[in-house]
Structure 1
């Protein structure tokens, strides 16, 4: 008996077309028509990038932040998780938590970057480079006014404001984050710590 590699197509698994991946030929329209069994993906310069599954702790931090924002954000803002941000037709992101300007359509997965007030990412071992370097630059290029990076073990929140096309650190804390934008916030970090 020999070990043969599993052909994903034969196993019925979805995978990106290798030619289109090499050509960087995917658009947001392609992402919207992916089959239900396809993994969660982001689109980066026309290439599908599989988003790693978050850990239990990662999800808890994101969900607790969503709940805190849901309870404290002004009524003209709506927090969301597991939704996408459309930067342009060849680039999308799946932030852990976003804060959107209302009105928010309940039947949409992707929201224009202009509707996003805050994008928050919980950093995990598999997302360190993207969450610390790549995504902040891309969110800034898209004009998203605020970016939060949340490190784990221990939980530490870094809040950035967009200034002249770049993010500048507004505040950071492992105890209580105090910022005036996107609204007056006094977030006890223990409130988002699982």
Structure 2
């Protein structure tokens, strides 16, 4: 067995902390911290996933009000031991070219596009963690025969848990966190039908 590179060894007995991600230049791109453990995107990204994230980013950017920025692949520092990297975030934070993470109170929408490698984390672990952090809106997008299906969740303040707000195929229309209208069929076709 090959020895692990030095950077993969936790810097302390308690493991990794959120600020450690900014000190790991050797770590693979898209490294997340979940419960103090480093999580790497190990499988190659499918074209479907990349295309969907790109078109969804531009669609949300075009519809977002002036006080909302849309960013892709930026971590959220949920707490000292959790810093996941969703596919997209809509945030009230102003643009900062040196930013490496957002605080949960700056995030109004998190979007995860499920891949086989991330399915369990996206559907259960992150669903719970984003709710516990107080993020109001969470979308989990699944591949259903090549078509995107958006599972929408809203935070229920009395319970602090997400409540399902709908499953959307072909089109999505939501009044929150801002007015959003999306023809889902165009997200992976690039506008072609």
TM-score range, shorter chain: 0.7 to 0.9
> What CA deviation, in whole Å up to 9, does each residue of 1:10-48 have, x standing for no partner?
xxxx6511xx3995421122111102x311311122221
> Aligned-pair distance for 1:189?
0.5
Take 1:22 and 1:49, find their aligned partners in 2: how far apart are those partners? Answer: 17
2:27 is aligned, of 38, 48, 57, to 38
> Aligned-pair distance for 1:111?
0.7
Tell me the number of residue pairs that the alignment of Structure 1 and Structure 2 aligns: 183
Cα contact 1:79–1:99 (8 A) shared by 2: yes
Deviates more, 1:21-30 or 1:184-193: 21-30
Root-mean-square deviation over aligned CA pairs: 1.9
Cα contact 1:171–1:177 (8 A) shared by 2: no
Unaligned runs of 5+ in 1: none
1:182 is aligned, of 169, 177, 181, to 177
Scaled by the length of structure 1, what TM-score is found?
A: 0.87
Take 1:142 and 1:183, find their aligned partners in 2: how far apart are those partners? Answer: 20
Could you say what secondary structure the match of 1:150 adopts?
Answer: strand
> Aligned-pair distance for 1:109?
1.3
Residue in structure 1 matched with residue 128 of structure 2 by the alignment: 137
Take 1:64 and 1:22, find their aligned partners in 2: how far apart are those partners? Answer: 41
Cα contact 2:60–2:180 (8 A) shared by 1: no
Residue pairs, 1:38-77, within 5 angstroms: 38-39=27-28, 40-52=30-42, 53-77=44-68
Take 1:101 and 1:191, find their aligned partners in 2: how far apart are those partners? Answer: 27
Unaligned runs of 5+ in 2: none
